[in-house]
Copies of this chain bind each other. A is one copy, B any other.
Amino acid sequence: MTATTSDEGAAVPVTIRDVARASGVHISTVSRTFSAPHLVNPETRVRVLACAEDLGYRPNRAARALITGRTHNIGLIIADIANPFFPPLIKAAESQARHRDYHVFVADTNEDPTAEEELVHALAKQVDGVLLCSPRMSNSLIEQLSREVPLVVVNRQVTGLPCVLMDVGQGARSAIEHLVGLGHRSIALLGGPRSSWTNREMRRAAGAAARAGGAQLTVLGPNAPTEVGGSAVAEQVRRSGVSAVLAYNDLMAIGLIEGLDALGVRVPQEVSVVGVDDITLSRLTRPKLTTVATPTGAAGRTAVDMLLQQDIESPRGARGSGAGTALGVRRTTAQVMLQTDLVIRDSTGPGPYARPARPLAAPRGPDPHCPAGPGIPTAATGDAVAS
């Protein structure tokens, strides 16, 4: 009869001390049995393990963290869990973390910069590092927070901090070239949140690509990066008279298509629409969405790797004179840029300046209006990855 575990209800929390008492050894031996098994006699070890099992002992991770300075948790701060862009990233990060014996805690900020900051503070001491995904707060605040807890930023470039980026610039360029190749010369860009790095990148790249292709780009926004954000601008898109739209986001693209549909504007017959992300949903709506696929899974994995690598090379343990949770010297500050891919489906079609479908034996002569800038490398158009 040691620490009685009453079988019904209310279990008394069993600590390392109970196990020590039960197995007749010192608590340090029990501790070592779990954290440094090779240091304890095999016989003792099995006895201790048996007692622990018997009592249902589980090490208190909070107490352990207090002294080691390592929680074996990582935090994942997400702008909006409801955006289907994120779950694949979350799952990839989780699986990668699990392989390294880490747990992931996800927190949602509702696109609110204040919530972001508060969450970083709240997580700081309970995790070994934080992945900041598509943050909405300022770069300077991010830098400041990075002094409190190791940070890896996803979808945002912050100098001096490790970042995982997706090449949406390249993606936007491909999309514009695709549209230009289809004969569109008047294109709208549906902007996302103002504080989004992705948004700025797309704008820059799309502008340049349009200029190079002899097309005119109208920027509409900023808008909420959701379906309603997209459907809300449908009227504006129609009035603007463009024949094609590149949306910040698949969700917005889908919302826009809905909105246009409600206005009696057909996609892609009257307006072509391209999204970004290639969320699962984009394959399920009609028309299926042409979109720029982003490597979300790879981003999650990479981000976790970078965070853990950074943790490992820094001093572990908060013992001694102090520099606590893995801060300090020489942090990896690598910035990784991942490729994106244009996936052509059914929401894009020939525009007003389109050349005839079959280059040879064309029924109608080539469109005289087409000023098709000479050297545009019109990326794969007809025969691409179409679903």
Contact = CB atoms under 8 A, between A and B. Distances in A.
A12 B323 contact: yes
Given A90-B108, A107-B103, A328 B122 contact: no
A81 B71 contact: no
Interface string A120-155: 011111100000000000000000000110000000
A189 to B, nearest CB: 22
Given A61-B126, A258-B284, A324-B12, A87 B91 contact: no
Interface string A209-228: 00000000000000000010
Contacts of A285: 284-286
A125 B60 contact: yes
Contacts of A63: 66, 125
A281 interface: yes
Nearest to A78: B106
Nearest to A119: B103
Contacts of A62: 62, 65-66, 71, 125-126
6 closest Cβ pairs, A-B complex: A13-B324, A105-B105, A82-B87, A106-B106, A10-B328, A11-B147
A126 to B, nearest CB: 6
A121 B284 contact: no
Contact of A227 (B124, B148, B284, B323): B284
Contacts of A103: 107, 119, 122-123
Interface in A153-195: none
A39 B193 CA distance: 45
30 contacts: A9-B147, A9-B328, A10-B147, A10-B327, A12-B322, A12-B324, A13-B322, A13-B323, A13-B325, A58-B124, A58-B148, A60-B66, A62-B65, A62-B66, A62-B71, A63-B66, A66-B66, A81-B81, A81-B91, A82-B91, A90-B108, A91-B110, A94-B107, A103-B123, A106-B107, A227-B284, A281-B281, A285-B285, A285-B286, A286-B286
> Size class of A's contact patch?
35 or more
Contacts of A9: 147, 327-328, 331
Q: How many copies does the complex hold?
A: 2
A73 interface: yes
A231 to B, nearest CB: 10
B91 A126 contact: no
A84 interface: yes
A74 B280 CA distance: 30
A292 interface: no
Contacts of A280: 82, 227
Contacts of A124: 58
A267 to B, nearest CB: 12
Contact of A58 (B91, B106, B121): B121
A11 B327 CA distance: 7
Contacts of A58: 121, 124-125, 148
Interface string A286-325: 1000000000000000000000000000000010001111
Given A61-B122, A105-B106, 14 more contacts: A13-B327, A56-B148, A58-B148, A61-B125, A62-B66, A63-B66, A66-B66, A81-B81, A81-B90, A81-B106, A84-B84, A90-B108, A281-B281, A281-B284
A311 to B, nearest CB: 14
A352 interface: no
